[in-house]
Amino acid sequence: MAEATQSNAELLEWPKKDKRRFLHAVYRVGDLDRTIKFYTECFGMKLLRKRDVPEEKFANAFLGYGPEQSHFVVELTYNYGVTSYDIGTGFGHFAISTPDVYKLVENIRAKGGNITREPAPVTGGISVIAFVKDPDGYIFELIQRPSTPEPLCQVMLRVGDLERSIKFYEKALGLRVVKRADRPQQKYTIVMLGYADEQETTVLELTYNYGVTEYTKGNAYAQVAISTDDVYKSAEVVNIVTQELGGKITREPGPIPGLNTKITSFLDPDGWKTVLVDNEDFLKELE
C-alpha cells in the first residue's frame, strides 16, 4: 500500500511538469458561415481552417487571433440540419481582450451585433468591460487591456462547489489559481485558473453563485482541449483525482481512429468536459 501511495504521489506531480496549454474551446453553432462572418467582421478573428465531413453530416471551423501552434482558438461545429442549441445555465462566457473596448463595441454595433452590457468599469473595480451576444446566443466578455499575447483569454463556467473544483483542476490538470475575487454583495466568487499569469494566457474562469449547486449543461458548449506530452500518464492522474473528487474518464487514452492523434477525455465533478491532446500529434495534424 505504501508503494502505491508513493507512486501515486509521484504521478500527481506529472501535470505540473508536463508541457500544457489551452488549445481550443469546442461548441456547436446553427449556421457556420453566419458565425464565421460575425467573428471575423465583429471580433477581428481569422478563419484558420475549415473542414466539411459530409459522410458524418458535420462541418467545423477554427478561428482565433493567431496560428493554432501557439494560440488558443475556437472550434465551431455545425451538425447538418441543426439550426439552434440550448446553451443551458452553466456555461458563462468566452472573453476577448482589446486595447479599446469602446471602439470594438461601436464596430460590433455598426455591424448589427447585440450589446448586452455597455462598456463601463466593472462593479467595484477599474477594468473596462462590455458584453456581447453572438448570433447563437453565446456571450463574449470584452476586456480592456493594453496588449496581450492571447486576446482570446477566458472560458467561464459555473460550478456548484468552488473549493472542490479548484482542487480538481489543480490536481487533474496542473492548473494554478492566478486570481480570486469574492463579491459578497453580488453573492458570487470567481477564480481564474491558468498555466501562466492572467494577462499572458488563456484562463479557465470558474464562477460560484452562493447557494447554487447545480446548473443545466444544455447541448451547445462541448469542451476545452488542452495539450499534453503523454495522454496515458495524464489519464492515470485524472483517474486518481476522480476517485477522490468526482468526475469520470469518458474516453480512455489512445489514438482517434483514422486520425492517429492520441487523446483522452473526462468530465469534472460538475460534468464539464476536457479533452487532453498529444502535443506532437496535434502539431502533425496541423501540418
Q: Which residues are annotated as a binding site for Zn(2+)?
A: 75, 93, 141
Q: In Å, how far are 83, 151, 163, 202 from 15, measured between CA atoms?
A: 39, 25, 19, 17
8-state DSSP, 96: E
Beta bridge partners of 273: 223, 267
Cell 482558438, residue located? 73
Encoded amino acid at 124, one letter: G
Expressed in angstroms, the distance from the first to the final Cα of the chain is 46
DSSP 161-194: -HHHHHHHHHHHH--EEEEEEEETTTTEEEEEEE
| Strands 262-267 vs 273-278: parallel, antiparallel or unpaired | antiparallel
- For the question of residue 252 being annotated catalytic, the response is no
CB 48 within 8 A of CB 152: no
CB 237 within 8 A of CB 11: yes
Residues 6 or more apart whose CB falls under 8 angstroms from that of 57 comprise 79, 80, 81
Residues 6 or more apart whose CB falls under 8 angstroms from that of 5 comprise none
Cell 462541418, residue located? 59
Q: How far apart are CA 204 and CA 102, in angstroms?
A: 25
Annotated catalytic residue, options 56, 118, 141, 244: 141
* Residues annotated catalytic, as ranges: 141
